[in-house]
């Protein structure tokens, strides 16, 4: 464990691969001890404790990859960007700092320990991995001298301006590979941590992908339209929400909107449900529900959010909640695009679909399972 190449790079990578293959932690420890072989005399209690700690951190998704120098500073900055959904910014931060990375030795070809980091590992797609290998680093640079890592773009509040890059919008949620139901709430001028505190029945989980989060809501910061009014929005997104209920249509939107405004969207394609609600300070202002082939609306809706032209196959007359009229994907697309345009907001596609975000269980305390792990 005294070798930084092994302790910081190879051991976390081996542990990550072992656990990802569905193997248990004890079998990893056993294989490690067997690998020591004749060198077991140098394998003491401190080594065993260190290996176990790394294995636990990787297993619980609390492992933090660290590196020396400017590249290490960039890694720390990128992790904070990715933590709340700024995955594009996080990758740009890492990419800009690649030339400042210094290997631990001649056999150290790349910062492979990044792959074990729960927030940064998902950013390294096969294409980006090839770019990492092809980028001259350390002594491989033409001048051979030190290179300072470029600092990430920051706002006056010291946070990444997500709108600097092309926003994903909301309509990407209609992609065929997406699940048949989802729910999200967007809240204005509230941080992701504050939002989680308002809607959650427990602490934040460790960074989770869709499968790891289960029924919990993952939270982050929305990308915003650079031409908008400068408002910031946070989101809570559920990939597998509870079934839509007429007696509780607001979901987490009501508590989230205290002292501010919230937008809630609840979609069930199989039952033909698309629910939208805009609230201010807990009060329902306007919105609509398309369900059972019928439209219910309330409040003074902005013209672009009029459900009649958005859902031409539905009727303004009373429908039958027992009848499932599947949503037309084109109608769902138009509704999401209109919401994105009206509020100037976007959900980060890569972060939600392929990355990890902190998650929180919503609902009444004790009424839902606890999210796994703890925030790092």
Give mean pLDDT in consecutive 10-residue pieces for the chain, a chain of 376 residues. Answer: 89 94 87 63 68 94 96 98 96 97 92 97 97 78 46 39 68 83 95 95 92 94 68 92 74 92 93 94 96 93 97 72 75 97 95 96 53 46
What is residue 240's predicted lDDT score, i.e. its pLDDT? 80
Which residues touch 209 (CB under 8 Å, ≥6 apart)? 122, 354, 355, 356
Q: Reduced to 3 states, what is the DSSP secondary structure of residue 186?
A: strand
Check if the beta carbon of residue 120 is closer than 8 Å to that of residue 75. yes
Q: Count Cα atoms within 13 angstroms, Cβ side, for 267.
A: 25
Phi, psi (deg, nearest 5) at residue 54: -65, -45
Nearest to 310 by CA among 328, 324, 292: 328
Check if the beta carbon of residue 276 is closer than 8 Å to that of residue 263. yes
Check if the beta carbon of residue 342 is closer than 8 Å to that of residue 188. no
What is residue 158's predicted lDDT score, i.e. its pLDDT? 34
What is residue 7's predicted lDDT score, i.e. its pLDDT? 92
Q: Do strands 283-291 and 294-298 pair parallel, antiparallel, or not at all (unpaired)? A: antiparallel
Distance CA 106, CA 108 (A): 6
Distance CA 86, CA 220 (A): 8
Tokens of 207: 């960074």
What is residue 364's predicted lDDT score, i.e. its pLDDT? 47
């Amino acid at each position: 464990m005294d070798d930084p190449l092994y302790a910081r790079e190879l051991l976390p990578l081996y542990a990550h691969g072992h656990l990802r293959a569905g193997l248990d932690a004890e079998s990893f420890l056993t294989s490690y001890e067997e690998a020591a072989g004749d060198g077991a005399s140098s394998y003491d209690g401190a080594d065993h404790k260190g290996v176990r700690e790394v294995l636990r951190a990787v297993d619980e998704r609390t492992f933090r990859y660290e590196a020396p120098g400017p590249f290490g500073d960039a890694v720390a900055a990128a992790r904070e960007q990715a933590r709340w959904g700024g995955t594009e910014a996080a990758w740009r931060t890492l990419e800009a700092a690649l030339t400042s990375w210094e290997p631990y030795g001649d056999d150290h070809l790349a910062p492979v320990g990044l792959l074990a980091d729960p927030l940064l590992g998902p950013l390294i797609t096969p294409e980006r991995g090839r770019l990492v290998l092809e980028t001259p680093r350390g002594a491989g640079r033409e001048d051979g001298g030190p290179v300072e890592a470029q600092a990430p773009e920051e706002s006056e509040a010291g946070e990444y301006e997500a709108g600097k890059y092309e926003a994903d919008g909301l309509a990407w949620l209609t992609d065929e590979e997406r699940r048949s139901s989802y729910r999200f709430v967007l809240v204005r001028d509230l941080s992701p941590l504050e939002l989680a505190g308002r809607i959650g029945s427990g602490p934040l989980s460790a960074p989770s992908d869709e499968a790891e989060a289960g029924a919990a809501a993952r939270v982050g910061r929305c990308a915003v339209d650079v031409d908008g009014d400068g408002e910031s929005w946070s989101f809570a997104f559920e990939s597998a929400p509870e079934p839509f209920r007429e007696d509780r249509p607001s979901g987490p939107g009501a508590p989230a909107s205290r002292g501010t405004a919230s937008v809630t969207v609840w979609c069930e394609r199989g039952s033909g449900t698309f629910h939208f609600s805009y609230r201010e300070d807990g009060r329902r202002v306007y919105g609509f529900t398309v369900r059972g082939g019928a439209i219910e609306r309330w409040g003074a809706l902005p013209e672009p959010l009029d459900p009649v032209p958005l859902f031409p196959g539905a009727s303004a007359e009373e429908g039958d909640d027992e009848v499932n009229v599947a949503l037309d994907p084109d109608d769902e697309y138009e509704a999401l695009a209109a919401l994105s345009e009206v509020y100037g907001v976007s959900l980060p596609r890569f972060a939600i679909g392929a990355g990890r975000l902190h998650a929180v269980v919503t609902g009444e305390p004790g009424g839902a399972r606890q999210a796994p792990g703890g925030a790092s």
